């Protein structure tokens, strides 16, 4: 485009070309803003895990240090809180997924009295506000004179995880070809061998997904845990307590670690899926 051509261009055309530019790039701009809005808080959490704060508050950037990562458990109580959370999340996801898988199998495979009701009830914990779940569990435990602590937290977590596990595994079972199991039995496999050799390998991805999902929602649960923890402190409870007096950068360290582990787990999953589809199409 020569200079002569540009000067002879009428005003209207310049305006319309600007408009065209905006039209072309408005989606890009919007997407960038959207991701910034989404990711900025996480970026700040990660960045401040390397901050070297003076005083109680980790809000102002003071200087870079590895110390928070090196002494991640340098704050009293944080170590036991992290381990308690891990322990609860691991046990709760295992138990909830095992129970959830069995419930899903029963719901999809068998017609029994109360199946429709069970199907609806499974969704109740998903749609009930956590505060209601937490408060009602608290009432229940108080009425039963249960000592609050590890076991009440575990029971509460298993309770709200089961629904997620059921929904995840059920989705996979609905599209499952029953003839595969019949074929296995036809070839001499009894019920148990059929489950082990055919059903389980085929629903394994869903079971794994349920495990990860349960782990993720258990490890960061605050509301239900707060009601039922007694004197025990899980990591979210620790963060809440610490935030009142000024959260130490170690909280950011643990948060970042959880984030990195979750994201890398997801990436590995995506890579495996991509390799599988490539193998299938080649």
Decide: 160 and 123 in contact? Cβ < 8 Å: no
Q: How far is CA 212 from the centre of its chain?
A: 7
Q: Is 280 in the site for another protein (CB under 8 A)?
A: yes
Minimal distance, residue 190 CB to another protein, in Å: 5
Minimal distance, residue 272 CB to another protein, in Å: 14
Mask for 128-157, x = binds another protein (CB under 8 A): ------------------------------
132 or 185: CB nearest another protein: 185
Decide: 153 and 232 in contact? Cβ < 8 Å: yes
Minimal distance, residue 168 CB to another protein, in Å: 19
37 or 177: CB nearest another protein: 177
Minimal distance, residue 196 CB to another protein, in Å: 12
Binding residues for another protein restricted to 174-233, rule: CB under 8 A: 177, 179-180, 182-190, 193, 197-198, 201-202
Minimal distance, residue 192 CB to another protein, in Å: 11
Number of residues that bind another protein (CB under 8 A): 18
Q: Which residues bind another protein (CB under 8 A)?
A: 177, 179-180, 182-190, 193, 197-198, 201-202, 280
């Amino acid at each position: 485009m020569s200079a002569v051509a540009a000067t002879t261009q009428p005003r209207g055309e310049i305006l319309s070309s600007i408009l065209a530019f905006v039209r072309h790039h408005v989606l890009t701009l919007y997407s960038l803003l959207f991701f910034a809005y989404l990711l900025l808080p996480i970026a700040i959490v990660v960045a401040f895990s390397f901050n070297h704060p003076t005083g109680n508050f980790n809000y102002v950037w003071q200087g870079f240090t590895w110390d928070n990562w090196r002494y991640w458990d340098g704050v009293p109580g944080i170590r036991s809180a992290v381990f308690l959370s891990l322990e609860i999340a691991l046990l709760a996801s295992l138990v909830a997924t095992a129970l959830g898988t069995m419930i899903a199998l029963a719901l999809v495979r068998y017609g029994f009295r109360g199946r429709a009701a069970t199907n609806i009830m499974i969704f109740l914990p998903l749609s009930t506000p956590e505060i209601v779940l937490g408060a009602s569990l608290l009432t229940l435990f108080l009425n039963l004179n249960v000592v609050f602590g590890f076991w009440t937290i575990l029971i509460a977590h298993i309770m709200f995880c089961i629904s997620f596990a059921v929904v995840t595994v059920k989705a996979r079972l609905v599209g499952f070809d029953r003839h595969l199991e019949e074929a296995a039995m036809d070839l001499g496999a009894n019920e148990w061998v059929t489950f082990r050799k055919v059903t389980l390998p085929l629903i394994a991805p869903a079971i794994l997904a349920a495990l990860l999902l349960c782990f993720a929602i258990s490890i960061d649960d605050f509301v239900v845990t707060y009601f039922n923890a007694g004197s025990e402190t899980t990591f979210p409870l620790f963060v809440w307590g610490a935030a009142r007096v000024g959260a130490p950068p170690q909280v950011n360290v643990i948060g970042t670690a959880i984030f990195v582990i979750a994201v890398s787990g997801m990436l590995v999953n995506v890579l495996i899926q991509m390799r599988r589809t490539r193998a299938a199409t080649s």
